[in-house]
């Protein structure tokens, strides 16, 4: 996930369906053009992701049917404290899903 906005986002997390959360998150440097290497391991949910910064979320290993039936959704809070969800189809909407819930 890259924060393409001009403001930081907070409490960033990924859920797979309703039962699974990301197993790990790492900083991710997209610059340089060479092979990308994982960066610093982050605590979940990611407390703060600055403008232009990228984080990579990793899941546990799931079977193909489990992955298909539990598509990822990204949750975050904007600079005004509004909570948002962004699903794998690009549908962005306000949500009442709280971090870690």
Residue 88 has pLDDT above 60, yes or no: yes
pLDDT exceeds cutoff 80 at 30? no
pLDDT at 36: 64
Residue 38 backbone class (left: φ over 0; alpha: ψ -120 to 50; beta: rest):
beta
Q: What is the pLDDT of residues 4-22, one digit of tens each?
A: 999 999 999 999 988 888 9
CA atoms within 13 A on the CB side of 42: 22
Residue 35 pLDDT level (bands cut at 50, 70, 90): low
Which pLDDT does position 32 carry in this prediction?
58
- Give the tokens for residue 65: 């049917």
Per the DSSP assignment, residues forming a β-bridge with 85 are: 75, 93
Helices then strands, each counted (H, E), the chain? 1, 9
Question: Is 90 exceeded by the pLDDT of residue 68?
Answer: no
Q: At 55, is the pLDDT very low, low, confident or very high (cuts 50, 70, 90)?
A: very high
Average pLDDT over residues 21-35: 76
């Amino acid at each position: 996930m890259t924060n393409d906005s001009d403001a930081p986002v907070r409490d960033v997390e990924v859920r797979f369906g309703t039962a699974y959360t990301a197993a790990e998150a790492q900083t991710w440097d997209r610059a340089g053009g060479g092979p990308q290497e994982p960066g610093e391991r982050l605590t979940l949910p990611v407390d703060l992701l600055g403008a232009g910064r990228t984080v990579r979320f990793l899941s546990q290993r799931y079977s193909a049917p489990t992955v298909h039936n539990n598509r990822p959704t990204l949750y975050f809070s904007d600079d005004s404290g509004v909570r948002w969800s962004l699903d794998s189809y690009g549908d962005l909407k306000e949500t009442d899903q709280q971090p870690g819930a």
